[in-house]
Amino acid sequence: MALAQSSDELTIRKIYDKSLAEGQSYQMLDYLCHKIGARLSGSPGAAAAVEWSRHVMEDSGFDSVWLQPVMVPHWVRGQKEIGRIINSKKMGTVELSVCALGGSVGTGLEGVAANVVEVKNFDELKSLGTQKVKGKIVFFNRPMDPTQIQTFSAYGGAVNQRGSGASEAAKYGAVGVIVRSMGVNQEDYPHTGGLRYETGVPMIPAMAVSTKHADLLSRLVKDDAGLSFYMEMHCQTLDEAPSFNVVGQIRGSEFPDEIIAVGGHLDSWDLGQGAHDDGAGCVQSIEVLRIFKVMGYKPKRTIRAVMFMNEENGLRGGRKYAELARQNKEKHLAAIESDRGGFTPRGFNFTPDSAHREKIISTIQGWKRLLEPYGLTEFSTPGGGADIGPLARDRVTVIGFIPDSQRYFNYHHTPVDTFDKVDKRELELGAASMAALVYLIDQHGLK
């Protein structure tokens, strides 16, 4: 046992050495961000990213690399949106920093002009009712709570405005929606992100406004019930488009039928380069297998890197992967996802296969001692990730990689989610952390 532990310690140390001294994750991300850039589902960028990741994994000498065809939604933004305060008492006409929310209908060339009514939540909207909302533009302006230590908790407490605000407002006759961006600081740029229209409710256009301009709009609306706002958006949803998940694999030497998957999503929003969201997760996942190759580590189980398509506005890739796994009677021991940016690692959260819950928790907690020297101190349940969620329904243990969350929502879904926002060491430490966990699962199983 002492020997086994020592061998784990040595291998994990070697994984970190390889990632930090000879890693390729940063160089891969450089290419993905600068040569390909934005890659919303159905776009030429997404197609290029599919080809790129296939080539990278083939060139890295993985045992096999293949594509999983999947149809994806195809939404396009069209020309730059307009969000304009027309007639404020204090400042007259003011152009705001806005963008259409992903999936929104457009306004047509004629745009939408209406008075603005500000609310903080759906209860407030309801209490205003049809009488005060009908014919108006509803402005959802509840900030992310800055006192949450984990920014994802603050995001979770605010994002229903973006996801469901348009349909909720439309129920009371609103003609358009402005949503405060899901950012925690004072920013000049808006955050896009997906909305979902509720069936049977009129689809009205919805845009995000930068947090700075949300505050401005709020001040101007308070003084001025007659304030009019003009929104013009040329976005539209086209026919679904063919696309792919990209999968690379190293075949297990002892238990080839047991699969450990590690992945990120290849698609990104259209405004930036998808550097943290989720180029980082993609290159880290490829790097896990690449590190094993260059170390000469031959896994007992089959290790897969999965580039999921369409996490941002449909989750079609994640669903397709789980569907194929079921169809092919594949046995996944675990699936790990990195989709919280390329920041300094803090740990993992996970949802164990319910049939072996206690055993799996104690196995993973038992590895804490091996991983703490690398700054991995958080091992909590539940957890996972959007793309691997559908696997969890088939009792696969799903694991989310948890990096430091403080800066994530500075960049998430914005024009500034670019390569220069990623720190090389932080990204490399993340890749090594994922590889270390995959190594431990490969060596010892989970139960």
Nearer to its own copies, 313 or 433 (CB): 433
Instruction: Select 235 or 427, whichever has its Cβ closest to its own copies.
Output: 427
Cis peptide before 415 (omega within 30 of 0): no
> Residue 150 in 3-state DSSP?
coil
23: its two tokens: 């890693």
**DSSP E strands: which ranges in 309-344?**
331-337
CA distance 366 to 105: 50
Do the beta carbons of residue 338 and residue 430 sit within 8 Å? yes
Catalytic one among 168, 232, 311, 337? 311
SS3 content of the chain, % helix, strand, coil (to 5): 40, 25, 35
CB of 384 to its own copies, least distance (A): 21
| Shortest reach from residue 15's CB to its own copies, in Å | 11
CA atoms within 13 A on the CB side of 74: 14
To its own copies, the closest distance from the beta carbon of 52 in angstroms equals: 23
CB of 406 to its own copies, least distance (A): 5
Cβ partners under 8 Å of residue 126, min gap 6: 172
Integer Cα distance of 82 and 94 in angstroms: 11
Residue type, 50: V
SS3 assignment, position 390: helix
The smaller minimum CB distance to its own copies, of residues 41 and 433, is found at: 433
In degrees to the nearest 10, what's the CA dihedral of 338, 342, 346, 350? -10
Helical ranges in 274-314 per DSSP H: 280-295
Peptide bond into 278 cis (omega under 30): yes
CB of 346 to its own copies, least distance (A): 7
**Residue 405 CB, nearest distance to its own copies (Å)?**
9
What is the C-alpha to C-alpha distance for residues 282 and 393, in angstroms, rounded to an integer? 23
Tell me the C-alpha distance between 314 and 320, whole Å.
Answer: 11
Is 311 known to be catalytic? Answer: yes
Interface residues toward its own copies, by CB under 8 A = 16-17, 20-21, 146-147, 149, 151, 184-185, 344, 346, 373-375, 377, 404, 406-407, 410, 423-426, 429
Rounded to a whole number of angstroms, the minimum distance from the CB of residue 250 to its own copies is 24
Tell me whether residue 196 or residue 425 sits nearer to its own copies (CB atom): 425
Q: What's the distance, Cα to Cα, between the start and end of the chain in Å?
A: 17
d(CA 369, CA 367): 5
Nearer to its own copies, 251 or 424 (CB): 424
Active-site residue list? 311
